[in-house]
Amino acid sequence: MFNSYNNSIKINAISGTIVKNYRKSFILRFHMKSSMAENVLSENPSIYRKPIVVLQVMLCGDEELLAEIMWKDDFDEIFKVESEAGDANNTKNK
């Protein structure tokens, strides 16, 4: 379940299930009262001082969380490629 991914930009989350949506994303498990939770769920999320994007979070058990996360650089790269493809299509249609 954690090894599969979907290359689309959209997150298709279903209540009670967490699915890895991107090739470069990863699943992280942590306690909701831990320092990791403070870093991941903050206004400027990071892990080991490296910026991240939190894609989805699920409560798992007693105060444990599972989160799908991507490094911000990888996330920005996906949107850049998607944006450039959209711009090329718009230019072609004019």
> Which of the pair, 93 or 47, is modelled with greater confidence?
47
Spell out the domain ranges in the chain: 26-92
pLDDT surpassing 80 at residue 77: yes
2-53 pLDDT, tens digit per residue, is 555 555 556 655 667 888 889 999 999 999 999 999 999 999 999 999 999 9
pTM beyond 0.85: the answer is no
Sheet holding 50-59, edge to edge: 26-31, 64-71, 50-59, 46-47
Residues 6 or more apart whose CB falls under 8 angstroms from that of 2 comprise: 20, 27
50-70 pLDDT, tens digit per residue, is 999 999 999 988 899 999 999
